[in-house]
Structures are given as C-alpha cells and as structure tokens.
Structure 1
Amino acid sequence: MRLAVLSGKGGTGKTTVSTSLAKVIANSQYADCDVEEPNGAIFLKPDLMKMDDVLVLVPKVDQSACTGCGACARICQFSAIAVVKKKVLIFPELCHHCGACVLVCEPGALTEVERSIGTIEASADNAFIQGRLAIGEPSGLAIIDAIKKRLDPNRPAILDCPPGAGCSVVKSLEGADYALLVTEPTPFGLHDLAIAWSLVQRMEIPAGLVLNKSGSGNEPVYAFCREHQLPVLMEIPYSRSIATAYAAGLLPVDTDPVWIRRFTDLYDRIGREVAK
C-alpha cells in the first residue's frame, strides 16, 4: 500500500505521523517528498549511503543556427525563454523541462542539455529516501518523481508530502492508495484541511484524518468531518510530554509503547479501508 500523509499548512504534525508510521510498519519505505525542507531524518536517523544528482533537460541555443523567429519564446508558458533583437536568451531556472521549445524550433537551433536541480539520498536498503532541492531552484517536481521511482511496489510506502496543496503535493499524491490528512484544531488548521480535503476528493483518493494537538477546540474539526463524511481515525492529544520529546528528536512511538499499538492499529485500519 502507498500511503500519502499531507496536511495543508505546515506544523500540524504531518511528519510526526508519517515517521511514526514508518517506525511501526515492518519492511516499510519512508519517502520524504518535502524536497524544499526534508526533516524526516531528524526522527528516523537513517544511515544515508547513496546520493545521486537529479538531472533535468533544459534548452541550449546555437546562435549561429537561430533565425530569431521567436517561436520558442511564444510556446514557453513559464517565461524561461526570451528573444531580444532576434537573440535567444534562456533562463534555465525557470524551465519546466517540457521540451516544447525544441519541438517548435524549425531551424533546429535548440538542443537539450542536462542540468542538476538537486539530489536524492537514500539508505542502503531504500527504507529511507529523501530529496533535496538545490538552493535557488523554483520547482522540485522532478525530484519527487525520482523519489517515487525508487519505491518498491511490494513494500508498504509512506510518503511525507510537502505542506500546502500545490503542484508538489499533487505530484506526491499521484498513485497513492490512501491519503491521510493531518490537522490541528485551529482556524488555520481547519482552513487548510478544507483545501487538502478538496484536493484529495478531486483526485479521487480515499482519505481519513488524524487530529493532532487534540483538545477543547475540536468541535469545528468534528463538524467539518461530519459534514464531509471524513473519518477521524486517530487523535493525538495536546501534550507537553509529547512536545518535549519531539523537541529532543523523539516520536511518541519512541517514548510510550501505547503509541506503537495505536499507530499500528491506524495502519491496519487504513489497510482494511483500501482493501474494500
């Protein structure tokens, strides 16, 4: 089963949930798809043995063959190419690697060259995989793609999605069997829960909720879940002891065996839902 864990806003406990699941599920793979700021390694403490560059194709112009017609600039939807006084200027950081510019270049003045946008790091057995977007790069979609290609379809996979609900989250969710939403009982948490819920509904991925920092302000979240028939699968209480352990790099499953059982039961329940 491929389980994607997402939250909308950051800081709700998404990584707490995903890394806890990775610790209690036998033979699982944990994939940190938050390539702008991966932090699962803080809690899982993997021995990273493999590192590979993630390469993408970007255009390169042969000015001697270029006629300055501007077709490449017109087809580019991301302003990665400009034509000034019939001279082609390329901004590789803006390129989304679609190759359209090369296809429309009738003189054949454009070719594609490889360019590194970041790295993938993994443990020897691929139980832990993370991507890291290079500083200054605008898009990590190719890195998320590369992470997912390393997932073994015969092993349980936990995908720790980026925050938000943009392209990187959509890329992480593609192919997931189940989406586990994580929220907190705050106005911002509820606002972004609604966005994340809308996304997984649009992608037709079955979903459930973990309510983190559960306490006296839960009712608006409960009301949302009742309205949208979103099952609340687990609650993690607002707890000083959990927060103190977390600040020291320890998860609930590291400090209390009760949480090992709860996270195991959570995964088993999701598995039953997926099998229906």
Structure 2
Amino acid sequence: MNIAILSGKGGTGKTTVSTNLALALNANYIDCDVEEPNGFLFLKPKVYKTQKVMVEYPVIDNDKCVSCGECVNVCQFNALAKVRDDIMLFQKLCHGCGACEIVCKYNALTYDKRQIGKIEKGIVRDINCNRGILNIGEPMAVPVIRELLKGLSDGVNLIDCPPGTSCNVVNALKYSNGAILVTEPSQFGLHDLKMALELVKMYNIPFGIVINKDDGEDNIIKRFCKEEKVRLIGTIPYSKDTAVIYSKGEILYDDLHHKRIFDEISKTLKEVLSWT
C-alpha cells in the first residue's frame, strides 16, 4: 500500500503528518519534497546509502556540426538555440528525449550524463526512510522523484509529496493507491484543498482529509467535508504544546497526548483506505 500525503499549499503540516504517521503505522517513509526534504530533520534516521541521480544531456561535436538548426527546430524544451552560426546548449532545460540526436544528419550530437541530485536511504526504529535531494540551482525535480520511487519496499509506504499540485506532485501520485490531504482551517487552506482534491480524483483512488491546526470549531473545512461528502480522517489541534515540540525538531508521536491523536488517525485511515 502506497499512500500519498499531499497538500494544495505549503506550510499546512504535510511533513508533520507524514513523519508521525510513519511511526504510528510502522510504515516506510519516502520524502519526495526533493527541493526541501525536511522529514529527516524529525525522524533522524541513520543514513547507510547514498546514490547519485544522473540525467542525460546532448554534447555537440563542433568539428561535425554545420549549424543547420535541425536540432533546434525539433527541441520542444528550448534547450538548444541557434545564435548566428553557432548552436547554443542550455543543459538544465534538456529533458533527455533524444530527438536532437535522431534528426542530426551529421552525427554531431552524442549524449553524456551529469548529476542533478542524490538519494539517501536510512533507517530509524526499524522504519526505512528514503529521501531525494535536488541540487541547488537545478530546475527539474521529476527525475529525482522518479528515481526515488523506483522499487518501493513491500508493506506500507508513506509518500511525502511536494507541496502544491504541480507535475512534481503528479509524478508522486502515479505510484499511490490512496491519499491523505492535509489542510488548515483558513480560506487559503480551503482554496488550495479544492485543487488538490480535483487532482486526486483524477487518479480514482480512495482519500481522506486531515485538518492541522484545528480550532475545535465547526470551521470551513469541516463544513466543506460535510457538503462534499469527503471523509475527515482526523484533526490535529491548534496548540502551543504542539508548536513547542515541533520547533525543537522533535517527533510529536513521542509525546503521549499526540501519540493518541496519531494512533486514532491511523485507525481511521485504515477504514477509509480499506486495508488491514
């Protein structure tokens, strides 16, 4: 069972829910927020393996290139440009599709590889923890996410998705059998929750909502869930104690009060996603 944990916006508590549920469910934790992977700051696993993430990019042989511009015309990502009599390459825009090499009649293009990030694998409390890290300055996170999600372990995998509803989230959802949407009781939270819901519905997978920083009132998120008949999996109260534990980089699940909260969420989650 692969469970995606996502939110329509950043700052709702997605990683908080992911890391603590990993302990409550004794599940594997996979941090796909490769631009800002913060889950390891809380779980603190012992990293035992690191691997590079490589992507291909074209190399132009200037002795063979006649600057005909065919490679420029075929590139859908504007990674190649013709400037007077030269062909310029923008490595970080290249998606490695290979079209430029195919259309080159002079065999002036070959492919090489470069590193755009890395994957770290660790373990803590008998839980496997994997995360991807995108190199600073790299614009494309998807290759790191895809490599991270290859060959997921058996059992339950909690996939901590990137924030928002971009292609980075879409690529994480492709591997999921169910989803948890984390939101907060605010107008911004509701607005972005609606976008995340539409995305999850496209994949026709079971899902439920967790409200973080809940005020205990009949707020706009709870009313929305009732109106749209969306299952509310649980709530995490808005509390100074929660903020203090979080600010220290500690796991909420180690606190008895919060342990009860996440144990209850995990119990309801199993009912919503229909797995035992």
Which TM bucket (shorter chain)?
Answer: over 0.9
- Give the C-alpha shift of residue 30 in structure 1: 0.5
- Residue by residue over 1:74-107, the C-alpha shift from the partner in whole angstroms, topping out at 9 and shown as x without a partner, is 2222211111224211110111222222222232
- Give the C-alpha shift of residue 255 in structure 1: 0.9
After the TM superposition, which of the residue ranges 210-219 and 165-174 deviates more from structure 2?
A: 210-219
Query: 1:136 maps to which residue?
Result: 137
- Residue by residue over 1:184-215, the C-alpha shift from the partner in whole angstroms, topping out at 9 and shown as x without a partner, is 01111111111111111123232110001111
Tell whether 2:34 aligns with 1:35: yes
- Give the C-alpha shift of residue 228 in structure 1: 2.5
Helix, strand or coil at the partner of 1:189: helix
Tell whether 2:92 aligns with 1:89: no
Query: Kindly tell me: are residues 72 and 229 of structure 1, through their superposed partners in 2, closer, same or farther at Cα, counting changes over 3 Å?
Result: farther
Query: Kindly tell me: are residues 218 and 185 of structure 1, through their superposed partners in 2, closer, same or farther at Cα, counting changes over 3 Å?
Result: farther
Equivalent residues in 2 for 1:108-187 (5 A)? 108-123=107-122, 127-152=128-153, 154-187=154-187
Give the distance between the partners of 2:273 and 2:189, measured in 1 at CA. Answer: 26
Look up the equivalent residue of 1:75 and give its one-letter code: V
CA contact (8 A) 1:126 1:150 kept: no
- Give the C-alpha shift of residue 126 in structure 1: 7.6
CA contact (8 A) 1:186 1:217 kept: no
Query: How high is the TM-score relative to the length of structure 2?
Result: 0.92
After the TM superposition, which of the residue ranges 95-104 and 16-25 deviates more from structure 2?
A: 95-104
CA contact (8 A) 2:161 2:172 kept: yes
Helix, strand or coil at the partner of 2:29: strand
Tell whether 2:114 aligns with 1:104: no
Tell whether 2:263 aligns with 1:264: yes
- Give the C-alpha shift of residue 272 in structure 1: 3.7
Query: 1:79 maps to which residue?
Result: 78
Query: 2:3 maps to which residue?
Result: 3
CA contact (8 A) 2:207 2:272 kept: no
Query: How high is the TM-score relative to the length of structure 1?
Result: 0.92
CA contact (8 A) 2:2 2:156 kept: yes
Helix, strand or coil at the partner of 1:16: helix
Query: 1:212 maps to which residue?
Result: 212
Look up the equivalent residue of 1:82 and give its one-letter code: A
- Residue by residue over 1:92-132, the C-alpha shift from the partner in whole angstroms, topping out at 9 and shown as x without a partner, is 01112222222222322211111100111111688011111
C-alpha RMSD of the superposition = 1.9
Helix, strand or coil at the partner of 1:88: strand
After the TM superposition, which of the residue ranges 172-181 and 68-77 deviates more from structure 2?
A: 68-77
After the TM superposition, which of the residue ranges 68-77 and 137-146 deviates more from structure 2?
A: 68-77
Consecutive unaligned residues in structure 1, runs of 5 or more:
none
Fraction of identical pairs, as percent: 43
Helix, strand or coil at the partner of 1:127: strand
CA contact (8 A) 1:3 1:157 kept: yes
Consecutive unaligned residues in structure 2, runs of 5 or more:
none
Give the distance between the partners of 1:35 and 1:71, measured in 2 at CA. Answer: 35
CA contact (8 A) 2:234 2:268 kept: no
Look up the equivalent residue of 1:52 and give its one-letter code: Q
Query: Kindly tell me: are residues 217 and 190 of structure 1, through their superposed partners in 2, closer, same or farther at Cα, counting changes over 3 Å?
Result: farther
